[in-house]
């Protein structure tokens, strides 16, 4: 699981839908108050941005004609230490990693 925080327009179908699923999984994990230390240690989770990120991903999904029908439950981040609540993903590093892994991400339309 990870939040890429890359412009959704630049993501291929697989990574767009994959991050959408993973945002739901993070919201569920937070609501279950699961330990997520490894995700913070590896800079893969930005808790305060989960809802906004979901909306951003859904907007792109709908612009591609995908039928979104999975509302996101409000994630509970209150139990996290402040430094984890305010964690920010380095989008430059994340974009470089994603585009290095996936030849379909980073192209103009992101529609592959």
Q: Is residue 16 within 8 Å of 57, Cβ to Cβ?
A: yes
pLDDT at 100: 96
Per-residue pLDDT tens digits of the chain, which is 112 residues long:
999 999 999 999 999 999 999 999 999 999 999 999 999 999 999 999 999 999 999 999 999 999 999 999 999 999 999 999 999 999 999 999 999 999 999 985 445 4
pTM: 0.92
User: Residue 107 has what pLDDT?
Assistant: 80
Rounded distance between C-alpha atoms, residue 92 and residue 94, angstroms:
5
């Amino acid at each position: 699981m990870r939040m890429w925080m890359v412009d959704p327009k630049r993501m291929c179908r697989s990574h767009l839908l994959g991050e959408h699923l993973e945002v739901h999984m993070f919201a569920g994990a937070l609501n279950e108050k699961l330990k997520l230390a490894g995700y913070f240690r590896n800079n893969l989770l930005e808790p305060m941005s989960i809802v906004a990120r979901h909306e951003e991903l859904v907007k792109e999904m709908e612009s591609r004609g995908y039928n979104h029908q999975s509302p996101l439950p409000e994630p509970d981040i209150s139990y996290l230490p402040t430094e984890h609540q305010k964690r920010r993903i380095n989008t430059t590093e994340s974009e470089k990693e994603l585009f290095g892994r996936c030849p379909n991400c980073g192209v103009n339309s992101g529609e592959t």
